[in-house]
């Protein structure tokens, strides 16, 4: 799991005070099994009323009504989130779709029909590009290998070039120019695979690019602003992300914010203003995606009594979607040994198992698993133990609390990896 902070700042500058029409912001991602949104902060200038709605694709949209005119419009968004790794795709793709060509089921075809249809007709350029990836003899090939080769070819044979003008090039233009932005490359991949019969959608979001993170290494294109890529539907595996700008496939470097059938439906910030001709001076966009490190995929919990936590950060007290508030998500107080000598982890502890164990801090939904594993003397108490321990759910093997700071607080780089 990767913990990320996304800072996205947009500035519109005008030569005189102007009035603003409604603005539509597509900046807040949805929670899913692959992304957990811990916190989202939206700051606007001038003052505005904000209402959130879902669009036709289920994306979260902020509708902004600015209350007064100004010479500047500022939109600042800060996200704290966790991105979870994608399992091996080969194992998820259904047998029927493992080799190309294949046919979507009748139920799937009904639901994905519009996302599988070409939307940018041309004089055969995209068709020729798509067919160049197929065997000349018409034999079947691995589906994932086909899509990967298209993704890689765009990365290898086209030149990334940032462009500040609005809009997206047509795929035919991109093929002719051999240059483009991430949005251009995403649309080219979408139309290429649609030509081959795949369902594909456009994704807007962010790219975690390690070269902008002092603690990481790597080299990705398209950082410093919002990012775009495509997602392709494969039976069994579902919607899989393909980033042709960087030749990435299904990775925790991509932060999905919104998905749409067409790039024109997925603009991060859109709106209007009223003013004299030439009033608009320009805009600036800054995006920084930083990592708190890759966290161990084990449940941990730590905080002083009465303090709510969200992903290891302080948060207001109070219930969070039906669970105990913050760190009242249980501490299992251990004052006895493992009753069941055969319980996993007992052998490793050996003679040390005769001594009292430190408290084990776990989320509520894990307590039953631990009790079922033979942990004796257990009592649920409010969080606030002197120490905490990791619990390896694969073996239910406690780790001594003295591996952690004396105050029991888990460092910022070891925030929650299990939802609470």
* Maximum alpha-carbon separation in the chain: 82
Asked whether residue 225 is assigned to any structural domain, the reply reads yes
Residues 125 and 35 in one domain: no
Residues 129 and 21 in one domain: no
Asked whether residue 418 is assigned to any structural domain, the reply reads no
Residues 122 and 180 in one domain: yes
Asked whether residue 40 is assigned to any structural domain, the reply reads yes
> What value does the mean pLDDT take over residues 253-276?
96
Q: Is 254 helix (H, G, I), strand (E, B) or coil?
A: strand
Q: Is 420 helix (H, G, I), strand (E, B) or coil?
A: coil
pLDDT tens-digit map of 22-38: 999 999 998 999 999 99
Asked whether residue 20 is assigned to any structural domain, the reply reads yes
Give the other-Cβ count within 10 Å of 317's Cβ: 12
Residues 155 and 197 in one domain: yes
Tell me, what CATH number does 36's domain have? Answer: 2.60.40.2250
Residues 250 and 290 in one domain: no
Asked whether residue 194 is assigned to any structural domain, the reply reads yes
The Cα–Cα gap between 258 and 241 comes to 12
Tell me, what CATH number does 136's domain have? Answer: 3.10.620.30
Residues 193 and 69 in one domain: no
Residues 234 and 133 in one domain: yes
Residues 69 and 178 in one domain: no
Give the confidence band of 224 by pLDDT, cuts at 50, 70, 90: low
State the total domains in the chain: 3
Q: What percent of the chain has pLDDT over 70?
A: 66
Model pTM above 0.75: no
Give the confidence band of 163 by pLDDT, cuts at 50, 70, 90: confident
Residues 98 and 118 in one domain: yes
Residue with tokens 């044979």: 157
**Do 202 and 228 form a contact (C-beta atoms < 8 A)?**
yes
The Cα–Cα gap between 419 and 24 comes to 30
Residue among 17, 12, 33 nearest 269 (CA): 12
Residues 120 and 240 in one domain: yes
Instruction: State the burial class of residue 266 (Cβ atoms within 10 Å of its Cβ: 0-12, 13-18, 19+).
Output: buried
pLDDT tens-digit map of 346-389: 333 333 333 333 344 444 444 455 455 444 333 333 333 333 33
Q: What does residue 323 show for φ and ψ, rounded to 5 degrees?
A: -90, 175
Asked whether residue 198 is assigned to any structural domain, the reply reads yes
Return the beta strands (E) in 31-155 as ranges: 35-45, 48-54, 60-66, 70-83, 99-100, 141-142
Query: Under 8 Å CB-to-CB from 129, ≥6 apart: which residues?
Result: 175, 192
Report how far apart, in Å, the C-alpha atoms of 198 and of each of 88, 108, 112, 194, 310 are. Answer: 20, 11, 9, 5, 39
Asked whether residue 51 is assigned to any structural domain, the reply reads yes
Residues 370 and 280 in one domain: no
> What value does the mean pLDDT take over residues 133-148?
97
Domain that holds residue 195: 89-260
DSSP string, 70-84: EEEEEEEEEEEEEEP
CA angle at 285 for the pair 18 and 66, rounded to the nearest 5° = 35
Asked whether residue 382 is assigned to any structural domain, the reply reads yes
Residues 103 and 203 in one domain: yes
The Cα–Cα gap between 133 and 190 comes to 15
């Amino acid at each position: 799991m990767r913990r990320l902070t996304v800072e996205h700042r947009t500035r519109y500058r005008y030569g005189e005070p102007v009035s603003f029409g409604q603005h539509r912001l597509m900046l807040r991602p949805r929670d899913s099994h692959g992304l957990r949104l811990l916190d989202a902060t939206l700051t606007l200038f001038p003052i505005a009323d904000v209402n959130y709605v879902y669009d036709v694709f289920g994306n979260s949209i902020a509708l902004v009504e600015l209350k007064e005119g100004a010479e500047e419009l500022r939109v600042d968004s800060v996200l704290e989130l966790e991105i979870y790794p994608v399992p091996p795709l080969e194992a998820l793709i259904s047998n029927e779709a493992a080799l190309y060509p294949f046919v979507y089921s009748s139920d799937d075809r009904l639901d994905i029909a519009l996302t599988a249809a070409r939307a940018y007709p041309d004089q055969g350029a995209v068709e020729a590009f798509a067919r160049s990836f197929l065997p000349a003899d018409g034999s079947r090939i691995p589906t994932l290998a086909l899509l990967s080769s298209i993704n890689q070819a765009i990365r290898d044979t086209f030149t990334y070039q940032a462009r500040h003008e609005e809009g997206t090039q047509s795929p035919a233009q991109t093929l002719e120019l051999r240059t483009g932005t991430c949005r251009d490359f995403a649309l080219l991949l979408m139309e290429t695979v649609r030509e081959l019969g795949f369902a594909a959608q456009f994704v807007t979001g962010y790219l975690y690019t390690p070269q902008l993170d002092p603690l990481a290494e790597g080299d990705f294109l398209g950082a410093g602003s919002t990012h775009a890529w495509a997602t392709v539907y494969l039976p069994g595996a579902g919607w899989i992300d393909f980033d042709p700008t960087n030749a990435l496939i299904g990775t925790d470097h991509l932060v999905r914010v919104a998905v749409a059938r067409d790039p024109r439906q997925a603009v991060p910030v859109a709106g209007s203003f009223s003013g004299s001709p030439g009033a608009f001076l320009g805009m600036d966009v800054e995006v920084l995606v930083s990592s708190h490190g890759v966290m161990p995929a084990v449940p941990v919990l730590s905080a002083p009594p009465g303090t709510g936590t969200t992903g290891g950060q302080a948060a207001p007290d109070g219930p969070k979607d039906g669970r105990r508030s913050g760190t009242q998500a249980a501490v299992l107080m251990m004052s006895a040994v493992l009753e069941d000598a055969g319980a996993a982890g007992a052998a490793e502890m050996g003679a040390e198992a005769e001594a009292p164990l430190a408290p084990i801090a776990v989320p509520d939904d894990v307590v039953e698993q631990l009790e079922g594993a033979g942990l004796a003397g257990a009592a649920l108490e409010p969080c606030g133990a002197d120490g905490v321990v990791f619990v390896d759910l694969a073996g239910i093997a406690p780790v001594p609390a003295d591996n952690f700071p004396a105050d029991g607080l888990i460092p910022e780089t070891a925030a929650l990896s299990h939802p609470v």
